[in-house]
Chain A
């Protein structure tokens, strides 16, 4: 049990939260759904002087679609993302990942922002977001900046947020036609952190050329990763050229690029093996789906 106390603050606007964070410095921590932070605090692996509760900021909770983008507030609950008809329509790979995150109760508390900012290499939502090429808005008292999701993850529990910044919004471009994506996750039992999670996304031109291929893997490196070298092996090829042998080569390449560790959920060898299997399954599924659609 953690007997230490902290001061509790409740901003009602994003800017106000940033001002507080800047003023209070290192011992001030943003607290959203608490599903990662509360256990850490109980285990005393995180220290707080001040808790800045973000859950009373309505402007950070939204799911909107414009003609070109899906826009999500960082404090949107994972359950709302899982159940959103807009996201299911334009970015179903994100819906799939949200549905597999944690348990029903966790999904009613956890937020998309929290899942990203915790920086766990096994987190579920970074994976489809990497495949979707999302961009993230980081807010500070004096302004804002946007960064691509691929630049957001630095290492285990290390993300690209400055001391005085708040992750405020996540945007995904509406995909071009002939784009399919899939999310896969392997676990020990049905409710668990990922042994390995993966997302594969392919965009195909009218003539069948694979114009864009994205492969993202989680729980196999210090951070969620894209495997560009594997993607490049089939980018530019025609969908009908992608046979099982080529899928095998791509998935083995993806597995080679991972640097997994052994932990309570899986050994490094098994993670490498699963990486190969999941990428293979993802590619086969998409190639078949896209091939049928020509």
Chain B
């Protein structure tokens, strides 16, 4: 049995050596927000955060994630209490079919760790690994910028207090 830390919780999981992290997260931990599409690292829909960095869970052996902090979309907010980035995507309609959305949101979160006030080009670059076949890129970029604004407002309110 291997211990995996996912969304702040520890799980004891039976991991086969040849299982990718995506297989384990979806099939063994029921985290369907990890979306596997191309399975070859091209589309980034399977993105999860590993110690805060966006990685492709379809290419990482599950064993390699031991001892790391894994964050999936399920770890960000809940249906009833959305994370500010999720709120921003809802408000700006930064999606169409929704398949790429979890990956986009997680990579946006990772971007904000490095750059709190990115401009559109910087957002585009940070999300360039993600394919959105629906073509919602402009709305996705707007959502990320709105999320950055939300964080700035939160910081501003915090400083005021």
Contacts and interface: CB of A to CB of B under 8 A. Distances in A.
A103 to B, nearest CB: 3
Interface size range of chain B in the complex: 20 to 34
A38 B41 contact: yes
Interface stretch (A60-68, A105-113, A138-146, A202-210): A105-113
27 contacts: A5-B16, A5-B18, A6-B17, A7-B17, A8-B17, A10-B63, A31-B61, A35-B41, A35-B59, A38-B20, A38-B58, A38-B59, A38-B61, A39-B59, A41-B18, A51-B61, A53-B61, A55-B64, A104-B54, A104-B125, A104-B127, A104-B129, A105-B44, A106-B41, A109-B56, A109-B59, A190-B128
B70 interface: no
A35 B64 CA distance: 13
B60 interface: yes
Interface of B: 16-18, 20, 39-41, 44, 47, 50, 53-56, 58-61, 63-64, 107, 125-129
A191 interface: yes
A60 B71 CA distance: 26
A105 B55 contact: yes
Contacts of A10: 63
Nearest to B48: A105
A5 B17 contact: yes
Given A51-B17, A51-B61, A104-B54, 7 more contacts: A7-B17, A35-B56, A41-B18, A105-B54, A105-B107, A106-B129, A190-B128
B129 A105 contact: yes
A58 B144 CA distance: 35
Contacts of B125: 104
Interface size range of chain A in the complex: 20 to 34
B61 A103 contact: no
A193 to B, nearest CB: 11
A104 B61 contact: no
A2 B40 CA distance: 13
A95 interface: no
B56 A105 contact: yes
A106 B47 CA distance: 10
Minimum-distance CB pairs A-B, first 4: A103-B129, A8-B17, A38-B59, A108-B53
B61 A34 contact: yes
B1 to A, nearest CB: 14
Contacts of B107: 104-105
A133 to B, nearest CB: 30
A289 interface: no
Given A34-B64, A53-B61, A104-B128, A39 B40 contact: yes
Given A104-B107, A105-B129, A8 B63 contact: yes
A93 B63 CA distance: 34
Interface in A157-216: 190-191
Nearest to A83: B114
A88 interface: no
